[in-house]
């Protein structure tokens, strides 16, 4: 059986493939790719799958393929579109193994790594999509359903004259609204839910008999088998709607991991500085400035191996 791979690793492999095949040799970029490739067995497995897809490129007219690659260099979202097209055309076994990444590529609504979007749904529900999010919307006579494949959303449900239930399904289970405003984030192996108004009902996919009512002011994480203990909803948890990342006494390692969601390429934090504390509000639309200011407030330096490979290291 093929090794299960998370979507972010597959996207990184696709991005490297495009960068390394843009016709402009770059020794530093090649070195950065080699470092990434050797950093984890998952990286090697993801790269092997991308290489396997190379055989499919010969079936795409050369001019169309080149123009697609050019666009993909500017927007990583285009990398996913191209790979999705090749998987669909080629009938590769990767499609059967990585169903969730494939669905996210062709989801009805998608945002790129530097894009947020507001949607007004047919029933009047307000939906905010964070960066790098993919979802499908299914409304029928019996239900109002959002399938969240990756990323994060904020939902303000509207009253429905037909009294149809409103739910968000992720790979880990379901979140049913009980007349509320709430956020849902689909991570690699778990789902995080925060409630701002009223309440939601959570059921893990593999243990649907486990039901948790989560009330306003609380947040919880769950996977397909179990729900963790709820805790207070952190202040600034939905600051991303305003284009901000708000943190209060966070570990630098956690902060860099959160910031990497809004920046293409690889953003790493050295082990020696991961436990440094950081607080403040930072603009996620200008990660270059955020990184530049880190060295002014903390004993760290920002090292650019390439534009797409950045490391936060001790001074």
13-27, 138-152, 191-205, range with the lowest pLDDT: 13-27
Residue 193's pLDDT band, with cuts at 50, 70 and 90, is very high
**Going by C-beta distance under 8 Å and a sequence separation of 6 or more, which residues neighbour residue 178?**
198, 199, 200, 201, 213
Last residue of a domain, one of 232, 256, 286: 232
Q: What is the pLDDT of residue 106?
A: 67
SS3 content of the chain, % helix, strand, coil (to 5): 35, 30, 30
24-33 residue pLDDT tens: 667 777 888 8
Q: What is the pLDDT of residue 154?
A: 98
Phi, psi of 232 (to 5 degrees): -65, 140
> Both 194 and 142 in a single domain?
yes
Count of domains observed in the chain: 3
| Residue 156 within any structural domain of the chain | yes
Q: What is the mean pLDDT of residues 204-222?
A: 96
Pairing of strands 309-314, 266-269: parallel
Q: With 0.85 as the threshold, say if the pTM is over it.
A: no
Q: What is the mean pLDDT of residues 297-315?
A: 92
| Residue 112 within any structural domain of the chain | no
| Residue 147 within any structural domain of the chain | yes
Last residue of a domain, one of 199, 232, 265: 232
Q: What is the pLDDT of residue 303?
A: 93
CATH code at position 224: 2.60.120.1440
> Both 249 and 227 in a single domain?
no
Q: What is the pLDDT of residue 96?
A: 39
> Both 84 and 137 in a single domain?
no
| Residue 136 within any structural domain of the chain | yes
Residue 112's pLDDT band, with cuts at 50, 70 and 90, is confident
Last residue of a domain, one of 45, 77, 106: 106
CATH code at position 304: 3.55.50.30
Nearest to 82 by CA among 169, 161, 14: 14
Instruction: Give the residue with greater pLDDT, 299 vs 61.
Output: 299
Q: What is the mean pLDDT of residues 284-309?
A: 92
> Both 195 and 289 in a single domain?
no
Measured between alpha carbons, how far is 219 from 230 in angstroms, rounded to an integer? 6
Name the residue with tokens 């470092």: 35
110 token code pair? 């998608």
> Both 195 and 279 in a single domain?
no
> Both 58 and 162 in a single domain?
no
Q: What is the mean pLDDT of residues 126-139?
A: 94
> Both 76 and 136 in a single domain?
no
- Which residue range(s) make up the domain with 173? 117-232
> Both 122 and 224 in a single domain?
yes
Q: What is the mean pLDDT of residues 141-169?
A: 96
| Residue 135 within any structural domain of the chain | yes
> Both 223 and 251 in a single domain?
no
| Residue 2 within any structural domain of the chain | no
Instruction: Give the residue with greater pLDDT, 41 vs 127.
Output: 127
Task: For the chain, give the mean pLDDT.
Answer: 83
> Both 121 and 228 in a single domain?
yes
> Both 249 and 190 in a single domain?
no
């Amino acid at each position: 059986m093929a090794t299960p791979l998370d979507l972010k690793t597959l996207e990184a492999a696709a991005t490297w493939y495009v960068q390394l095949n843009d016709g402009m040799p770059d020794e530093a970029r090649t070195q950065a790719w080699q470092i990434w490739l050797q950093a984890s067995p998952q990286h090697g497995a993801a790269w092997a799958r991308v290489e396997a897809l190379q055989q499919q490129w010969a079936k795409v007219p050369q001019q169309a393929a080149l123009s697609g690659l050019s666009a993909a260099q500017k927007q990583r979202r285009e990398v996913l579109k191209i790979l999705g097209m090749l998987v669909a055309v080629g009938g590769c076994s990767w499609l059967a193994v990585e169903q969730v990444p494939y669905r996210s590529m062709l989801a009805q609504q998608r945002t790129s790594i530097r894009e947020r979007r507001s949607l007004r749904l047919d029933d009047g529900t307000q939906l905010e999509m964070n960066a790098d999010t993919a979802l499908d919307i299914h409304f029928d006579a019996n239900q109002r359903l959002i399938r969240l494949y990756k990323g994060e959303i904020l939902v303000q449900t509207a009253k429905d004259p037909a009294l149809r239930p409103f739910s968000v399904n992720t790979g880990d289970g379901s979140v049913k609204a009980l007349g509320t405003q709430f956020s849902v984030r689909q991570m690699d192996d778990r789902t995080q839910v925060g409630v701002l108004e009223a309440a939601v009902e959570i059921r893990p996919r593999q243990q649907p008999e486990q039901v948790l009512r989560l009330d306003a002011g609380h947040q919880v994480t769950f996977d397909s088998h179990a729900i963790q203990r709820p805790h207070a909803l952190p202040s600034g948890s939905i600051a991303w709607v305003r284009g901000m990342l708000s943190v209060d006494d966070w570990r630098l390692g956690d902060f860099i991991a959160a910031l990497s969601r809004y920046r293409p390429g690889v953003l790493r934090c050295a082990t020696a500085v991961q436990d440094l504390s950081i607080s403040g509000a930072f603009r996620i639309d200008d990660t270059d400035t955020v990184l530049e200011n880190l060295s002014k407030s903390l004993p760290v330096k920002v090292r650019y191996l390439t534009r797409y490979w950045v490391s936060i290291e001790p001074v």
